[in-house]
Amino acid sequence: ALREAVIELANKLLEKNPVVLRYAKIGFKRCRELTWEQGEDYLYAKTDQSNQRDPEKGRKEGLKQFLDDKTIKPGLQTYKRPK
């Protein structure tokens, strides 16, 4: 049961953008000890940084799939990453 749960979680994570996952993990770890305002500033900086460093341009692709293609629903699913 544990092995199947781990495989299921790993497959879900593989669907996500690896750059965004990395910066989200860093942000979560760092913001626990910051004030609300400091945490907000830090997370906005990490968001900008991840947008610049993302070779897949996931934000642009996600917006395209939502606004132009109408193939995803933000908050309910992730954008379709290239294989």
Which pLDDT tens digit goes with each residue over 43-58? 999 999 999 999 999 9
Q: What is the pLDDT of residue 17?
A: 93
Residue 53 CA: distances (Å) to CA of 45, 48, 64, 66: 12, 9, 19, 22
Instruction: Tell whether the model's pLDDT for residue 18 goes beyond 80.
Output: yes
HSE-CB for 28 with a 13 A CA cutoff: 6
